[in-house]
Amino acid sequence: MDFKGSDTLPGPRTEDHLPHTAQAAVKIVIVGGFGVGKTTMVGSVSEIKPLTTEETMTQAGIGIDDNYGSESKTATTVAMDFGRISITDQLVLYLFGTPGQERFWFLWNGLFEGALGAVVLVDTRRLEVSFDVMGRLEERGVPFVVAVNSFPDAPRYPISELRAALDLPEEVPIVECDARRRASSRDVLMTLMRFLHSLAVMGSAR
């Protein structure tokens, strides 16, 4: 039989096994409108091979999904992306990338269950595609940070203007990122973890 030797197979990512020091696992959701970079972010930052369920866009999506600015994109995630990252030796994050399109909202209830926090990815060319997502998170009381994915042809705005446009309170962190870069995506998650920590500290001080 002509099995390829293991040396010719693509190697595993840095860590396929949970570090033995891991003590806590936390669920984080990565949300945002169509084409904002959710799959890219989970893929760049995950230590395990990310699991992605993609379905080629069908006629059913045309005219329903707002595709402005992402015309070249042919596939959209209809289920979710899944990945994992150890933020410290003790703390492991499980990442769930979830679709932002309205017609997939029925998937959301389960996906938000048990989520400690969320990253809302935005594209400055289409801020409005992330409004509803933020509203849903607020309704469910899931704290979030906003990550502005820096697409090269997207206009850049000062954070204060973005905050006003997104109608976000002062305490909600807004950061720029490049979802394709592992370090940048990791920084976003660190920002979220610091934010969650500050909320917990504030909560326990009450």
Ligand X SMILES: Nc1nc2c(ncn2[C@@H]2O[C@H](COP(=O)(O)OP(=O)(O)O)[C@@H](O)[C@H]2O)c(=O)[nH]1
Per-position b or e across 83-97, b if 16+ CB within 10 A of its CB: bbbbbeeeebbbbbb
Contacts of residue 181, defined as CB under 8 A and 6 or more positions apart, other chains included, come to: 44
- Residue 48 Cβ, how far from Mg ion at the closest point, in Å? 17
Residue with tokens 């990252």: 85
CA 122 to mean position of chain CA atoms: 10
* Residue 118 bridge partners (DSSP): 29, 144
The binder of ligand X chosen from 115, 166, 179, 193 (CB under 6 A)? 179
Q: Does 67 bind Mg ion (CB under 5 A)?
A: no
Q: Is the dihedral of CA 37, 43, 46, 50 positive or negative?
A: positive
CA distance 177 to 189: 11
Stretch that binds ligand X, among 5-13, 30-38, 126-134, 165-173 (CB under 6 A): 30-38
**Span from 20-28, 32-40, 104-112, 198-206 in contact with ligand X (CB under 6 A):** 32-40
Q: Which of residues 120-149 bind ligand X (CB under 6 A)?
A: 149
Residue (42 or 146) nearer to Mg ion, CB = 42
Residue 55 CB, nearest distance to Mg ion (Å)?
Answer: 10
Nearest to ligand X of 128, 171 (CB atom): 128
SS3 state of residue 2: coil
Return the number of the residue (40 or 168) whose C-beta is nearest Mg ion: 40
> Does residue 35 belong to the site contacting ligand X (CB under 6 A)?
yes
Quickly tell me which residue has 């935005």 as its tokens.
122
Per CB under 5 A, 39 contacts Mg ion: yes
197 binds ligand X per the rule CB under 6 A: no
- Between 159 and 199, whose beta carbon lies closer to ligand X? 159
77 touching Mg ion, by CB under 5 A: yes
Contact 81, 97 (CB under 8 A): yes
Query: Is residue 117 within 8 Å of 192, Cβ to Cβ?
Result: yes
Q: Which residues form the interface with Mg ion (CB under 5 A)?
A: 38-39, 77
Q: Which residues form the interface with ligand X (CB under 6 A)?
A: 32, 34-40, 73, 76-77, 149-152, 178-180
